[in-house]
Amino acid sequence: MSRMEFMQGNTACAEGALAAGCTFFGGYPITPSTEVAEHMALKLPKRGGVFIQMEDEIASIAAAIGASWTGARAMTATSGPGFSLMMENIGYAVMTETPCVIVNIQRGGPSTGQPTRAAQGDMLQCRFGSHGDYGIIAVCPASVQEMFDLTAEAFNLADRYRVPAFVMSDEIVGHMRERVMLADTVETTPRRPLSPGRLPFEPGEDGVPGFPEFGRGHAAHVTGLTHDERGYPDATDHAAHEKLVRRLYQKIESARREIADYEVTNPDAEVVFVTYGPPARTVWQVMHDLSDPAIGHLRLRLVWPFPEFALAAFPDAKVFLMPELNMGQISREVERHVDVPVVSLPKLGGELHTPAELKRALEVHR
């Protein structure tokens, strides 16, 4: 039975993972994400799962990747400094096509920055932070309910595309308390196993290979080196490298319509807010206050792969306004897909934009 509760975003994130069947959590304490680990430490052992506090964030994601190869749905959670430490092994998960979920409760950076204040400063890092070319999937919850729903969905996306999936949340949603409907179980897309006769890294038509789970007699060799479809290193052949990297990139980019998750409000609008994460909440207030059909809102629940076609839902748009808790990281992505002005509205320091600030921006730019 589903149940209604009043809880914190980070706890809802952990509950979403549990509902999705997550059985392994490797983590390291860091503000403002620690409650995710604490809730998993409380719940996982009673369900026959494994919680382990590792010696650092590098080890945390390493353990999650290792667990994933045994077939487990595995995750870790962190914030900026820990996220930076994870970058090399995130690239390893990409290269080895290891499904895993990485939660980043973003805080102000760079460096130690503002441990207890929200930011969205890691949006490009999650997409491009590890070396080399690749694609990943990233969801952005704007409410406690979405912490539950989108964390669960991240596991499906990770398994479906054999890729790390990121829950790019922040201190505001992570520490906010709201009413949330907790489903006991959620719809799960199981990881597609390796078919008999197929090679461990031989892609299907969708570019995604079946998963050769450890302990099933596949004798799969998994390496971060450039490899062929057998999984064998082939690190000097230019064609082998190009084929692999193009596939890792394309299997995500070519599926972006299927992966996309967004909301369109007032598609006939001339001035359109584009948001992800909690800045949407200020926009909701502004639209409630002004009740003006000429103001539109594109809310991205999923930012990577970027759904540029969603911008076309506003054919009359004369300007896009982008309130972000960073210096305009995603506004540049929007800019390169539209012919009308894109106005970045950065907000730093840990607070959301106020409705008054966004109303002022409307007056200036419409």
Partner 1 sequence: MSAADWQRIDRLPNIYCAGCGNGSVINCTLAAVEEMGWTRENTVFISGIGCSSRAPGYILTDSLHTTHGRALAFATGVKLANPALNVVVFTGDGDLAAIGGNHFIHACRRNVDMTAICMNNQIYGMTGGQGSPTTPRGAISTTTPYGSAEPVFDLAELAVAAGANHVARWTSYHVKELMAAIATGLQTPGFSLVEVMTQCPTNYGRRNRLRQVSDMIEHLRTHALLVQKRDRLIREGKPIPEGMFVVGELVRRHRPAMGVRA
Interacting residues with partner 1 (CB under 8 A) = 23-24, 26, 50, 52, 54-56, 58-60, 62-72, 74, 88-89, 92, 212, 214-225, 232-233
Say how far apart CA 94 and CA 214 lie, in whole Å: 18
In the bound state with partner 1, the residue whose beta carbon lies nearer, of 7 and 65, is: 65
Minimum CB distance to partner 1 smaller for 92 or for 320: 92
> For partner 1, which is the closer residue by CB, 67 or 259?
67
Question: Distance between CA atoms of 303 and 37, rounded to whole angstroms?
Answer: 24
Decide: 269 and 293 in contact? Cβ < 8 Å: yes
Cβ at position 268, least distance to partner 1 in Å:
51
Q: Enter the DSSP assignment of 88.
A: H
Q: Which is nearer to partner 1, 22 or 317 (CB)?
A: 22
- CB closer to partner 1 out of 19 and 61: 61
Distance separating alpha carbons of residues 14 and 48, to the nearest angstrom = 16
What single-letter amino acid sits at 296?
G
* Distance separating alpha carbons of residues 135 and 350, to the nearest angstrom: 29
Record the tokens describing residue 126, joined without a space. Answer: 């999650």
Tell me the C-alpha distance between 82 and 271, whole Å.
38
Supply the minimum distance, in Å, between the C-beta of residue 66 and partner 1. Answer: 3
Shortest distance, CB of residue 107 to partner 1, whole angstroms? 24
Closest to partner 1 by CB, 52 vs 245, is: 52
Give the H or E element holding residue 13.
Answer: helix 9-19
Structure-token pair, residue 312? 């076309």
| Terminal Cα-to-Cα distance of the chain (whole angstroms) | 48
To the nearest whole angstrom, how small is the minimum distance from the Cβ of residue 52 to partner 1?
A: 6
Rounded to a whole number of angstroms, the minimum distance from the CB of residue 87 to partner 1 is 11
Q: State in angstroms the smallest separation of the CB of 84 from partner 1.
A: 15
